Amino acid sequence: MDHLDRFLQQHRDLTRRYFLQLGAAGVASLGCAPLWAQDAEGDRLLSEAIAQLEYLTPEEKFAGGGRGNPPPFKLTPEQRREAGLDRETWQLEVIADPESDVQIENPLSKQLGTALDWAGLMALAEKHAVRYMKAMTCLNVDRVFGMGLWEGVPLRHVIWMTRPAANLRRVWYHGYHSDPDKPGPGFQSSLSINRVLEDPPGDHPVILAYKMNGDWLAPKRGGPVRLIVPDGYGFKSIKWLQRVVLTNNPNPNDTYAGQNNDVDTTMKTFARFLGTPATLKVGRPAALTGVAQVGMSGLSKVQYCVRPASASVPPDDPYLARANWQDARILAPPERWGGGLSEGPLPPMPAQFDAQGRPLAWPLRYAIVHWAALVTPSDAGPHELCCRTIDANGTAQPLPRPLPKSGRNEIQRVPVAIEA
């Protein structure tokens, strides 16, 4: 099952509610023939076009697994226990880079018997636990892997436990590695110490995450503990976290740094279709549904257009800025968040939600939002459906950062046949 198929299993109720609320008057205001004039036809369109979706992704429907041979989540329970990959045996080292002049007074070390264990993490959680919603996505893949409600302890509290004294500029970290043919730490990443210690206004801390959607983190999602970097792509949020190295070396150690990627990029804003019919009919309205990833620049609009398939991309308009873009409807927060959460109010998330469980702003940055529209084609023949975002600064996708090595955000173009 690919990433698109996974998202086609989420958020039915919210999208259906949008189309039901439109009714004939709402459809007419969009310049379409009344969809609900024929109830049977409207129900058929909705049943085909509306995705079976939830806002939060259940663990079993999350895309992505892990690296290694075998991947750590495929180890037996006994092997995971021996490798420190269950809650009883997990430990985290936070140590000084021996090849730099960084100075820390209290390393958290297995050798010294001072490594942070599960009981120590839970003691920190009693005072410092935070929760926030964040989409998990890869900068080299143009789809969202899943949407989670993450809970954990800010990494900075653990860094302060080491009592750093001088010459600390960067944080290197890696998780458990299970490939005997490739010795070394395996997949690894890094952050500036400044990003760990301080959060931009409205942003969230880098956390040692131990729960997703209210449940203990599953082995496939990086359990028992993984790092979550709220504004970053997935390669920053290392799974099966076991070691953090504090260094005065200013260079990133990221695995992706050697693979021609921008390792300091933040998430981009872009739109993707979820429900698009293979064929349309002239004068007959059809439902479109989609998802938008809300990156660092926020989101103000989602738009779509229909273009003849024979129309080339003008050399002086590579991002289709002059296409006949139409506004889609960004859907409101759901009444039920899904993802396995129990019904009722969400757990406290002060940075994103008020005391009544309502988002302080919508859409949420570094999360997803769903959108919907009705399209009525006017010309027969091969065409393509396109979608894009306009960010909160008024900039249209794929700008302001169109280069793919800092994240895939090209305009999606889906072929569709329009019949007379």
Least confident interval from 75-79, 90-94, 177-181, 284-288: 177-181
pLDDT class of 287 with cuts at 50, 70, 90: confident
Least confident interval from 29-38, 72-81, 142-151, 315-324: 29-38
Same domain? 350 vs 201: no
Rounded to an integer, the average pLDDT of 261-271 is 96
Same domain? 181 vs 294: no
Query: What are the distances in angstroms from CA 251 to CA 98, 191, 247, 408?
Result: 15, 10, 10, 24
CA distance 144 to 270: 10
**Percent of the chain scored above 90 by pLDDT?**
70
Least confident interval from 45-49, 251-255, 306-310: 45-49
Rounded to an integer, the average pLDDT of 203-222 is 96
Same domain? 48 vs 64: no
Q: Phi and psi for 159 in degrees, rounded to 5?
A: -60, -45
Residue 177 DSSP symbol: -
Tokens coding 153: 């302890």
Question: Which CATH number belongs to the domain containing residue 250 in this structure?
Answer: 3.90.420.10
CA distance 270 to 301: 10
Q: Please determine, for residue 170, whether its predicted confidence score (pLDDT) is greater than 60.
A: yes
CA distance 81 to 89: 6
Same domain? 277 vs 343: yes
pLDDT class of 289 with cuts at 50, 70, 90: confident
Rounded to an integer, the average pLDDT of 273-292 is 89
Same domain? 121 vs 12: no
Same domain? 253 vs 311: no
Q: What is the pLDDT of residue 53?
A: 55
Tokens coding 325: 């873009």
> Which of 55-69, 72-86, 272-286, 340-354 is the most confident on average?
72-86
Which residue has 């750093």 as its token pair? 164
Exposure letters 151-177 (e unless 16+ CB within 10 A, then b): bbbbbbbbbebbebeebbebbbbbbbb
CA distance 348 to 356: 9
Q: What is the rounded average pLDDT for all residues in the chain? A: 87
Query: Using one digit for the tens of pLDDT, what is the confidence trace for 101-115?
Result: 999 999 999 999 999
Same domain? 138 vs 209: yes
Rounded to an integer, the average pLDDT of 270-296 is 91
Same domain? 291 vs 409: yes
Q: Please determine, for residue 31, whether its predicted confidence score (pLDDT) is greater than 50.
A: no
Query: Using one digit for the tens of pLDDT, what is the confidence trace for 128-145?
Result: 999 999 999 999 999 999
Boundaries of domain holding 155: 60-259
Distance of CA 109 to the CA centre of its chain: 32
| Selected residue with higher pLDDT from 174 and 28 | 174
Same domain? 12 vs 97: no
Terminal C-alpha separation, the chain: 34
Q: What is the pLDDT of residue 326?
A: 96
Query: How many domains is the chain built from?
Result: 2
CA distance 337 to 14: 10
Rounded to an integer, the average pLDDT of 219-231 is 97
Exposure letters 290-301 (e unless 16+ CB within 10 A, then b): bbbbbbbbbbeb
In sequence order, which residues have a C-beta less than 8 Å from that of residue 246 and are 6 or more positions away? Answer: 94, 95, 96, 97, 102, 104, 159, 162, 164, 168, 170, 171, 172, 193
Q: Please determine, for residue 179, whether its predicted confidence score (pLDDT) is greater than 60.
A: yes
Q: Please determine, for residue 356, whether its predicted confidence score (pLDDT) is greater than 90.
A: no
Same domain? 117 vs 211: yes
Q: What is the pLDDT of residue 373?
A: 86
Helix (H) or strand (E) holding 91: strand 91-96
Least confident interval from 241-255, 325-339, 379-393: 325-339
Q: Please determine, for residue 304, whether its predicted confidence score (pLDDT) is greater than 50.
A: yes
Give the DSSP per-residue string, 93-155: EEEE-TTS--EESS-B-TTTT--EEHHHHHHHHHHH-EEEEEEEE-TTSSSEEEEEEEEEEEH
Query: Using one digit for the tens of pLDDT, what is the confidence trace for 50-100?
Result: 444 579 999 999 988 778 888 999 999 999 999 999 999 999 999 999 999
Same domain? 92 vs 234: yes
Question: Which CATH number belongs to the domain containing residue 9 in this structure?
Answer: 2.60.40.650
Question: Which domain-ending residue is among 201, 230, 259?
Answer: 259
CA distance 282 to 381: 10
Residue 298 DSSP symbol: -
In sequence order, which residues have a C-beta less than 8 Å from that of residue 132 and are 6 or more positions away? Answer: 149, 150, 204, 230, 349, 351, 352
Q: Please determine, for residue 249, whether its predicted confidence score (pLDDT) is greater than 80.
A: yes
CA distance 212 to 220: 12
Residues in a beta bridge with 170: 192, 247
For CA atoms 28, 370, 231, 125, give the dihedral sign.
positive
Rounded to an integer, the average pLDDT of 226-233 is 97
Same domain? 15 vs 82: no
Q: Phi and psi for 291 in degrees, rounded to 5?
A: -130, 145
Do 235 and 227 contact (CB within 8 A), yes or no? Answer: no
Pairing of strands 329-330, 326-327: unpaired
Q: Please determine, for residue 173, whether its predicted confidence score (pLDDT) is greater than 60.
A: yes
Question: Which domain-ending residue is among 216, 234, 259?
Answer: 259
Question: Which domain-ending residue is among 259, 280, 300?
Answer: 259
**CA-wise closest residue to 60 among 200, 190, 220:** 220
